[in-house]
A and B are shown apart, each in its own frame.
Chain A
Amino acid sequence: MSWIGRSLPRLEDPSLLVGQGRYVADLARGAAAVKFVRSPIAAGRILGIEAPEGELVFTAADLAGVRPICPILHRPDYIAVEQPVLAKDRVMFCGQALAIVVAADQGLAEDLAEQVFADIEAEDAIIDFEGALAEGAAAVHAHAPGNVLVEGKLRSPGLDAVFADAAEIVALDLRSGRQSAMPLEGRGGLARYDDISGRVTLYASVQMPHMLRTGIADTLMMPESDLRVVAPDVGGGFGQKMSLFPEYVALVWLARHLKRDLAWIEDRRENFLASAHSRDQAFSVRGAFAKDGTLLGLDADLKSNVGAFSCYPVTCGVEPLMALAELPGPYKVAEYGVRSRGVTTNTGMMAPYRGVSRPMLTLTMERMMDVAARRLGLDPLEIRRRNLIDTFPHRSPTGLVYDEGSYKEAMERAAEAIDVAAFRERQAKARAQGRHLGIGFSVFSERTGYGTPAYAARGMGIVPGYEIVSCTMDPSGFVEARIGSSPHGQGLKTALAQLIADELGTVPEKVRIISGDTDATPYGWGTFASRSMVIAGGACKLAAGKVAVRLKIVAAVLMQAKAEDVVLEDGLARVVGTNLSLPIPEVARAAYHQSHRFPEAGPGLVENATYDPGGTFSNACHACIVEVDVETGGVTIERFVVAEDAGLLINPMIVDGQIHGGVAQGIANALFEELVYDETGNLLTVSLADYLPPTIAEMPTIEIEHLVTITDASITKAKGVGEGGAIGAPAAVLNAIVDALSPYGVELFQMPATPQRIRALIRDAERKAHG
């Protein structure tokens, strides 16, 4: 009996559902409170910092000898920038840490923080592309005049020719507002100092515990072995918790310096101000189309506002270079030209957020397909049909190799589920009553589960990608798998237990997955980039497979059979074609306690395995129906269909959960969330009254159709699925809004499509109509 493909309830959930999750703040009782004093000024020179005498207040001067955070890309077009743990001579963005205070509790720490005064000579802040890229603009970083920290360029030789010959050229300017990944739990850390060993244990709400340890140890110039990093229960990350932040370096420094336990628990305002941002992008893209709708070429100028610093380890290249590499998405396009820049400004640092550039890339391609279809008199689905990739492996113009997928099939499935013909009838009737319904589609690819080759190709100084898993069956037949991935809400432990249970003929309840502790797990990269099911899953399958080989050898000796005739299933080691069997725990015990009898297997049941795949592409089509209230600009999502191909589903319920969460964040991007700076670089959206994640009241029911393409690119046959919901949803929503407003002839290229932006488009159209 196989556990794969079963919607097993998540093994992680019982403690979370009864309020017994252990988050950093739960562990922090009794620790002194750390509070960071942050700059209220976006750009300026620090003239001095005054602090009350006799209190625990630390500034950059105290941290002399601590190295700045400085991630590297080995590219000639990359300019490395140093992020100090505390601002030294200059402040670079509003919210940057200037000083640290330590007090007995949080309230006292906040009182003390108010008594620290920074004298800052303010300068004009550069906050947007216009300011940063203007002729003669001041340099945010003195050694990076021009304010471009990374710039990638490509141009295929035939590009100009296809534009010269094009029947239709579609030129679009698209804009995505700045967003926060906004995990429910903010960042936070508890640093515990051990007097005897001198070691520090840092409990932190992070996605990449091993990377954090390396980063902190390098910055503080200490041996990694003196630091243990533990990610306990983590309340969401979505990419925001995969970078090395100055606050964690400061905590470990403080613990070593003060030799006491210290906790920093971020509040929501601080999370908005000082944690990572993303998606502040402006794309100008031209598409050359033949008369029949064939996309002949793409010419793109892509800009990403990366903020004041470069995130460690993936660098500020993460958005611009993803944009450069993956713009064509699921479409065949022979000629491609692109310039993609990471632009530095006096704003919060950009770091990955679920989807990384691809929500904007997908918006670009999907809006382009709709605009081209209208101009060429084609049905929106037909123009996609004519351009979607359909032979595999497919090589993209940037050299990416797409494994087998179901791009067209997913689109047809979504169109069928949402019933386009019936909708068009309903739409016409509604319009006659003055109601504006619209339908929108979004087809996309989701590159997942990529290992070191993909990161090495970016030129990253630190090349993530592989996962190592150590799998042990103990003498009682229970299994432990120690993984370098660091799940934080995904349900990965359940899915891995299902996978391992199948390899070892046991049940998921007897498989414990250990993660998120650098003392207890092999070096690994954490959980991000839709990688863990593919890569940690692959390594689990390999490691458990090796344990199974040993078990079979032992069982074969015990039953005087051949190892190749032994199968492991239903808790038994069975000899095929006989009625011989042994309970697996008996075999396991023998492997440890009678090892002298099994020289071929060797003692014990411990195996390591590594998996480092090239990557696999998932694909999906989102289709949605909206109603637009033309008087208010309000949008209601009536239906939302996802036809998704993530390969073999290990646990379909968990896959659905990933899609639900992703679509919610995609809808947030499309309609609601935006971080807004004023012209001085002051962040205006620092609470949930102004930054607006959708609530359950704004969420439609999400209808999911699964397609299953079996790939050779993943040894578990599973593809990644963590980001697709967020990638695809915005384009479907915006296309539906434009369709709803087709009587007004308006176009929409900006996210979030807020009511006031939509109403402004309608107002302009009404004014034009009335002359």
Chain B
Amino acid sequence: MKPASFVYVRPGSRSEIVAALAEHGADGKVLAGGQSLVAAMNFRLARPGVIIDINRAGDLDYLRPSGDVLAIGALTRHAAFHKPPVEGPLGALLAKVVRHIAHYPIRQRGTFTGSLAHADPASEWCLVAATLGAEMVIANNNGERTCPAAEFFRGTFTTAVGEQDLLAEVRLPMLGAGWRSGFHEFSRRAGDFALAMSLAALKLENGVITAARLGVGGVSDRAIRLSKLEQELVGKPPSKALFQDVAASAQAGIRPTADIHGSSEYRSDLIRAVVGRALTEAAA
């Protein structure tokens, strides 16, 4: 359980990091919280030639609300969300979700953007980013570009982040007044990877759903935003029957992946349960 040998560099700023990535190319690997990478290295499943440790890049450690987005820098730890990082529905949502991420010590070290860059299909933050339509800021030696969540996640452990790129920032849309959220996750033990989870956000005005965000994670190679079902919710008052219908549609529309903890058929049942519960909680 010792990693293969590697070169270690520790740039001190965002610009030094992208320079290091440009220098080392495919050999380079960004180390943020290390909660997935270091374990993979110890199992020798990952053998990066050069570790680019970004933990001293103070200019990446920020949470910036600005206008209608919350900008999250690449060194923001999960624990920064233990209390709502901003007032309003988005802050409440993030604080609700974060306690499902692994265990307390892991949350002190692991980072929000690191989770997205790692793109584990059972990552809670990936579900949040996909469902809310986050925007990713990807930087390299030539500048930066933005990438919508819908184009960012490419599959298990695969994203739009290239060999010389740093996922420098993630921007989450602020949910304005009237938005409420619900999140439900099923896992074998507290802190385990989700076998299925769902995030729902509903905007309620005068007893009617006027906008909706709905996503499912842990059941496929990436988090799935259920845009069609979002439309089915809009214009209707929340009700048990509506949510049951939407949950059943979610179940019918997804053919889940299988592993030793959950067959495809089992995860399919879980989709219905978690979607129904997330919606119910959002409307409660």
Give A residues with C-beta under 8 Å from B. Answer: 106-107, 110-111, 114, 267-269, 629, 631-634, 672, 676, 684-685, 687, 689-690, 692, 694-695, 697-698, 754-756, 759-760, 763
Which of A631, A685, A698 has a CB less than 8 Å from the CB of B272? A631
CA distance A695 to B191 in the complex (A): 10
Q: Which residues of chain A are near B8, meaning CB under 8 Å?
A: none
Q: Which residues of chain B are near A698, meaning CB under 8 Å?
A: 189-190
CB pair B188–A672 under 8 Å, yes or no, is yes
CB pair B272–A269 under 8 Å, yes or no, is no
Closest to B186 in A: A632
| Tally of chain B residues near chain A (CB < 8 A) | 26
Q: Which residues of chain B are near A690, meaning CB under 8 Å?
A: 260-261
Give B residues with C-beta under 8 Å from A. Answer: 1-5, 43-44, 186, 188-193, 195, 260-263, 265-266, 269-270, 272-273, 276
20 contacts between A and B (CB under 8 A): A107-B3, A110-B2, A268-B1, A631-B273, A631-B276, A672-B188, A676-B260, A685-B260, A692-B188, A692-B189, A692-B192, A695-B191, A697-B189, A698-B189, A755-B186, A755-B195, A755-B266, A756-B263, A760-B265, A763-B269
Q: Which residues of chain B are near A755, meaning CB under 8 Å?
A: 186, 188, 195, 266
CB pair A672–B189 under 8 Å, yes or no, is yes
CB pair B5–A632 under 8 Å, yes or no, is no
CB pair A106–B2 under 8 Å, yes or no, is yes
A-B interface, 9 closest residue pairs, ranked by CB to CB distance from nearest: A697-B190, A107-B2, A631-B273, A756-B266, A267-B1, A632-B186, A110-B2, A632-B273, A676-B260
CA distance A262 to B231 in the complex (A): 66
Given the interface pairs A634-B186, A698-B190, the reply to whether A269 lies near B43 with Cβ below 8 Å is yes
CA distance A694 to B270 in the complex (A): 21
Q: Which residues of chain B are near A631, meaning CB under 8 Å?
A: 269, 272-273, 276
CA distance A634 to B269 in the complex (A): 12
Closest to B247 in A: A631
CA distance A466 to B270 in the complex (A): 54
Q: Which residues of chain B are near A760, meaning CB under 8 Å?
A: 265-266
Q: Which residues of chain A are near B3, meaning CB under 8 Å?
A: 107
CA distance A756 to B262 in the complex (A): 6
Closest to B266 in A: A756
CA distance A66 to B193 in the complex (A): 46
Given the interface pairs A631-B272, A632-B273, A756-B262, the reply to whether A111 lies near B5 with Cβ below 8 Å is yes
CB pair A684–B189 under 8 Å, yes or no, is no
Q: Which residues of chain B are near A759, meaning CB under 8 Å?
A: 266, 269
Known pairs A755-B195, A763-B269 / 17 extra A-B pairs, C-beta < 8 Å: A107-B2, A107-B3, A107-B5, A110-B2, A110-B4, A111-B4, A111-B5, A672-B188, A687-B43, A689-B193, A690-B260, A692-B192, A694-B189, A755-B186, A755-B188, A756-B266, A759-B269
CA distance A759 to B271 in the complex (A): 13
Q: Which residues of chain A are near B273, meaning CB under 8 Å?
A: 629, 631-632
CA distance A631 to B195 in the complex (A): 13
CA distance A269 to B260 in the complex (A): 17
- Smallest CB separation, A203 vs chain B (Å): 21
Q: Which residues of chain B are near A689, meaning CB under 8 Å?
A: 192-193
Q: Which residues of chain B are near A694, meaning CB under 8 Å?
A: 189
Closest to A766 in B: B269
Closest to A634 in B: B186
CA distance A760 to B190 in the complex (A): 22
Q: Which residues of chain A are near B263, meaning CB under 8 Å?
A: 756
CB pair B2–A684 under 8 Å, yes or no, is no
Q: Which residues of chain B are near A763, meaning CB under 8 Å?
A: 265, 269
Q: Which residues of chain B are near A107, meaning CB under 8 Å?
A: 2-3, 5
Closest to B4 in A: A111
